[in-house]
């Protein structure tokens, strides 16, 4: 039969063990969030031909990050250019803002892979190249970024020796904190 002080000691050790496991679990959750997808891209925008009021362009998107399944490239034309025809993608344009998305046969871009599309466009006055592009919401800088975990726990998964279930090697086998869980 258990006496009251032995039961209290077991409950305290059990509570400490649960707290240590919760802190360790929070550390694992923070590690999981930090291992989210790395993103990175480089865009090569080339004006392949130009005539009065019109031009042809090709766009190559290099994926420098993790594999992508489904892509969306966005940019703004700096001088009011408009797309009149596009191939190997679908596009929408609102003012100077352009969004091009994949079609069924080119939606996956492996790490280190690329995809290309082309279009014809119209302009009035000048035809400067867009200043920046974003792939699936991430600005293409020619480098790779890893998302930072939002709200990662600041507690470290360390427990005091008296709170550790294995801290008392001289305890008899029947008096370990987890026996309460096994019995209850």
- Residue 147 in domain: no
Of residues 15 and 45, more confidence is placed in: 45
- Residue 58 in domain: yes
At residue 64, the pLDDT reads 97
At residue 74, the pLDDT reads 98
- Residue 98 in domain: yes
Question: What is the arithmetic mean of pLDDT over 102-125?
Answer: 97
Residue 96 pLDDT class (50, 70, 90 cuts): very high
At residue 37, the pLDDT reads 73
Question: SS3 for 92?
Answer: strand
Alpha-carbon span 70 to 100, nearest angstrom? 11
Q: What is the dihedral of CA 19, 20, 26, 29, to 10 degrees?
A: -130
Residue 55 is part of a domain; what is its CATH number?
2.60.40.290
At residue 57, the pLDDT reads 98
Question: What is the arithmetic mean of pLDDT over 97-121?
Answer: 98
- Residue 31 in domain: no
pLDDT digits (tens, 9 = 90+) for 21-67: 444 444 433 333 333 478 999 999 999 999 999 999 999 999 999 99
- Paired strand residues for 68: 109
Domain count, the chain: 1
- Contact yes or no for 20/163 (Cβ under 8 A): yes
At residue 154, the pLDDT reads 35
- Residue 109 in domain: yes
Q: Which of 34-43, 112-121, 154-163 has the lowest mean pLDDT?
A: 154-163
Percentages helix, strand, coil for the chain, rounded to the nearest 5? Answer: 20, 35, 45
| DSSP class of 65 | S
At residue 9, the pLDDT reads 59
Q: Which domain holds residue 68?
A: 39-142
- Residue 97 in domain: yes
> What burial letters (b/e) apply to 169-184, b meaning 16+ CB within 10 Å?
eeeeeeebbeeeeeee
Helices (H), the chain: 4-34, 178-183
- Residue 3 in domain: no
């Amino acid at each position: 039969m258990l006496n009251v002080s032995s039961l209290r000691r077991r409950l305290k050790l059990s509570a400490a063990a649960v707290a240590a496991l919760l802190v360790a679990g929070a550390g694992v959750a923070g590690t999981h969030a930090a291992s989210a997808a790395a993103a990175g891209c480089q865009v090569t925008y080339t004006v392949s031909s130009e005539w009065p009021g019109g031009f042809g362009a090709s766009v190559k998107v290099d994926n420098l990050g993790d594999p992508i399944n489904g892509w969306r490239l966005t940019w703004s034309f700096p001088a009011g250019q408009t797309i009149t025809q596009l191939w190997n993608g679908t596009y929408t344009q609102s003012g100077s803002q352009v969004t091009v998305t994949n079609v069924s046969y080119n939606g996956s871009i492996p790490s280190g892979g690329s995809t290309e599309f082309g279009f014809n466009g119209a302009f009035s006055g000048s035809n400067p190249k867009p200043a920046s592009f974003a792939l699936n919401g991430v600005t293409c800088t020619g480098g790779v970024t890893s998302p930072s975990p939002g709200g990662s726990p600041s507690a470290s998964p360390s427990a005091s020796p008296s709170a550790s279930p294995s801290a008392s090697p001289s305890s008899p086998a029947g008096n370990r904190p987890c026996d309460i869980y096994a019995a209850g």
